[in-house]
Amino acid sequence: MAFAETPSLIVLLCSLVTVFSSPVPVDVHHEAREEITTLSSDQVTSFKPYTYFAAVASSKCDANSGFTTTASGGDGGDTQFWYVGYDPSLNTVVVGHQGTDADNIQSILVDADFFQDELDQTFFPGIDTSIKVHNGFSEAHARAAPDVLAAVQTTLADHSGASVTTTGHSLGAALALLDAVYLRLHLPSSTVFKTVGYGMPRVGNQEFADYVDAHVTFSGGGLSRINNQKDPIPILPGRGLGFHHPSGEIHIQESNAWDACPGQDNTDERCTVGAVPNIFVSDSDDHSGPYDSIVMGCT
């Protein structure tokens, strides 16, 4: 599997939502009260296997020795390519999603459909109707969700006690976050989950961000949202449209230091919202990385 993602997507997406990316007043309830901390070199290195999985190009997946694929699918258009497999070194079932293919108009239209809607109760039974998410992301997720769940269940049956990790870059990270919510509702409560997203756009409203923090970010393996320098995608869609990030941000500085930014949409200048207050000070080249020397996309 080798998927392309180019800066032309970013230019298009930014042009669609520039008006909505302006800052909004800070909600003190969600303002960080903890200190920003810099990750150690060992902590940074610990993310590398997940970075390879998020990159999803076959040569990079092979870098995680022993990984075996259970199933894969998607068409690279309105249904992003995905795969499910098992990594014995991490004892985890991995669910990886493709980012946007800028050469495929259907893929781009998924990003452009940024109106909010309720989550489908078929896939998210019992979830509160106040929780709303990006319609394009939600519909793309729904097209693959049953097959992804079946593949995860099959893999867990073969590897009792394994955890489940969802990961992806850009649009793929958004789908991974939706998977983190979805799979929890359909797998045994004893299952341990971890989500690692790279260059993740905002996925839902404040209620969604709060739900994610309560059920994903601070549960099991947690949520890590890794943003590189002045990447514009994590500030889109804008908060002016009612979109909010959950907690879990790690921001890579120009010095290559990785800073953990507590809280939702932390406005400190060492974090993405503070460092990239609008797209005019962003750099689309930062979207693909590097993330600890790994660049997303085809090789």
Decide if 294 is inside a domain: no
Residue 172 makes CB contacts below 8 A (sequence gap 6+) with: 54, 56, 80, 96, 97, 98, 99, 197
Q: Is the pLDDT of residue 160 over 60?
A: yes
Q: List the CATH number of the domain containing 175.
A: 3.40.50.1820
Which residue do the tokens 């990316």 mark?
Answer: 21
Decide if 297 is inside a domain: no
Between 53 and 77, the more confident residue is 53
Which residue do the tokens 């969604």 mark?
Answer: 208
Decide if 2 is inside a domain: no
Q: Is the pLDDT of residue 109 over 90?
A: no
The domain tally of the chain equals 1
pLDDT value for 107: 44
Which residue do the tokens 């519909």 mark?
Answer: 139
Identify the domain containing residue 204 by its residue range: 7-288
Decide if 192 is inside a domain: yes
Decide if 296 is inside a domain: no
Decide if 276 is inside a domain: yes
Between 1 and 229, the more confident residue is 229
Decide if 299 is inside a domain: no
pTM given for the model: 0.88
Mean pLDDT of 232-246: 95
Measured N-to-C along each axis, helices 171-184 and 135-158 cross at an angle, to the nearest 10 degrees, of 60
Which helix (H) or strand (E) segment holds residue 228: the answer is strand 222-228
Measured N-to-C along each axis, helices 135-158 and 105-112 cross at an angle, to the nearest 10 degrees, of 110
Distance between CA atoms of 4 and 100, rounded to whole angstroms?
8
Q: Is the pLDDT of residue 59 over 70?
A: no
